[in-house]
């Protein structure tokens, strides 16, 4: 590749997608780790949630989101959705779309293995992610002694989408979902859905009360952002700059107004407009 075309490629934005606003937790971590990068984010709000759908449907949705971002011109795709990362291997997207693709499951699994002392790891995730077995598989590649206990927590996605993150309703749901993890005496809980860090404070509080203060909560957003940074740097794809924050362009497939409000709260001044697209 010539010097000018590789620098043009470096200047392209990163494409990031999720079913809704959960992937913004990854965008926030990416902005911290890679302040020179511009980001185009697609939230498939017309079809959220993905986690309760069958695998074939999730594959179809994921391919349409990924194609849309690739057609807009991005240098790499970050699948900011555990359900998609667990259902469609990043390799498949990489081969079908001929673009680098990074998911959230492997970074989350690596962070969990690094954090556990007892080897008992709990995964809170959507029904689709739990059914896929992607986390136990990824963790088994990294550690032979780890035991993984998975718990589907589907109600946490609509609660996060609604911004209902405090009070009795989300607290009772979280309590119910962490009960099997408490019985299994896990010492690490992976927030295996990018929506869940929106409820992190509440989840952490309940986990520390019910299971113990030393239980580590792993949020794959930060681990993913770190891996994206290393990936871009080692392939000379990272954008050079003065450290000034680059743009975040937000796309949704429905109700852009509601998304803009939540996204602004979440990303601060980065949000100027939200564009609605048809996939
Ligand atoms: N935030 C996504 C995930 O990480 C999807 C949640 C959903 O749409 O059910 O799994």
For the chain, strand residue ranges (E) read: 14-18, 39-43, 76-79, 101-102, 120-125, 147-152, 188-192, 216-219, 248-252, 274-276
Q: Are residues 131 and 259 in the same domain?
A: no
> How much is the pLDDT for 272?
76
Q: What is the 3-state secondary structure (H, E, C) of 102-155?
A: ECCHHHHHHHHHHHCCCCEEEEEECHHHHHHCHHHHHHHHHCCCCEEEEEECCC
Report how far ligand 1's centroid is from the alpha carbon of 164 (Å).
16
Which atom in ligand 1 lies closest to the alpha carbon of residue 80? 4
Q: Are residues 173 and 85 in the same domain?
A: no
The answer to whether the bond into 198 is cis (omega within 30° of 0) is no
CATH of the domain at 131: 3.40.50.1860
From 220, 243, 263, give the residue that closes a domain. Answer: 220
* Residue-range definition of the domain harbouring residue 53: 3-103+222-276
Confirm or reject: Cβ of 129 under 6 Å from ligand 1.
yes
Radius of gyration of the chain (CA): 18
Q: Are residues 19 and 56 in the same domain?
A: yes
Bridge partners, residue 189, by sequence: 122, 217
Confirm or reject: Cβ of 81 under 6 Å from ligand 1.
yes
Q: Which residues are catalytic?
A: 81, 193
Report how far ligand 1's centroid is from the alpha carbon of 131 (Å).
13
Per residue in 92-126, pLDDT tens? Answer: 999 999 999 999 999 999 999 999 999 999 999 99
Q: Are residues 118 and 139 in the same domain?
A: yes
Per residue in 246-262, pLDDT tens? Answer: 889 999 999 998 898 88
Q: Are residues 114 and 213 in the same domain?
A: yes
**CA-CA-CA-CA dihedral for 227, 230, 231, 234, to nearest 10:** -160
Residue 263's nearest CA partner among 43, 24, 30 is 24
Which pTM was predicted? 0.94
Backbone angles phi, psi at 249, to 5 degrees: -105, 125
Q: Are residues 111 and 201 in the same domain?
A: yes
Report how far ligand 1's centroid is from the alpha carbon of 166 (Å).
20
Confirm or reject: Cβ of 19 under 6 Å from ligand 1.
yes
Confirm or reject: Cβ of 18 under 6 Å from ligand 1.
yes
Q: How many domains in the chain?
A: 2
């Amino acid at each position: 590749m010539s010097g000018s075309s590789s620098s043009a490629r470096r200047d392209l934005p990163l494409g990031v997608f999720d079913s809704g606003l959960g992937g913004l937790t990854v965008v926030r971590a990416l902005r911290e780790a890679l302040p020179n990068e511009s980001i185009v984010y697609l939230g498939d709000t017309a079809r959220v949630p993905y986690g309760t759908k069958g695998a074939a449907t999730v594959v179809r949705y994921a391919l349409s989101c990924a194609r849309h971002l690739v057609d807009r011109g991005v240098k790499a795709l970050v699948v900011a959705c555990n359900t998609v990362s667990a259902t469609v291997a990043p390799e498949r997207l990489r081969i079908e779309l001929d673009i680098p693709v990074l998911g959230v499951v492997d970074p989350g699994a690596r962070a969990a293995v690094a954090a556990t002392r007892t080897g008992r790891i709990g995964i809170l995730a959507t029904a689709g992610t739990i059914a896929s077995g992607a986390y136990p598989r990824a963790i088994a590649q990294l550690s032979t002694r780890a035991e993984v206990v998975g718990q589907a927590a589907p109600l946490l996605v609509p609660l996060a989408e609604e911004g209902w993150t405090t009070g009795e309703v989300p607290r009772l749901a979280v309590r119910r979902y962490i009960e099997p993890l408490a019985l299994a005496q896990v010492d690490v809980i992976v927030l295996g859905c990018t929506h869940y860090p929106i409820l992190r404070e509440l989840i952490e509080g309940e986990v520390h009360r019910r299971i113990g203060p030393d239980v580590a909560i792993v949020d794959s957003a930060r681990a993913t952002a770190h891996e994206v940074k290393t990936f871009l740097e080692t392939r000379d794809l990272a954008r050079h700059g003065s450290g000034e924050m680059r743009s975040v362009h937000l796309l949704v497939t429905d109700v852009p107004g509601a998304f803009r409000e939540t996204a602004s709260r979440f990303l601060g001044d980065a949000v100027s407009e939200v564009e609605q697209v048809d996939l």
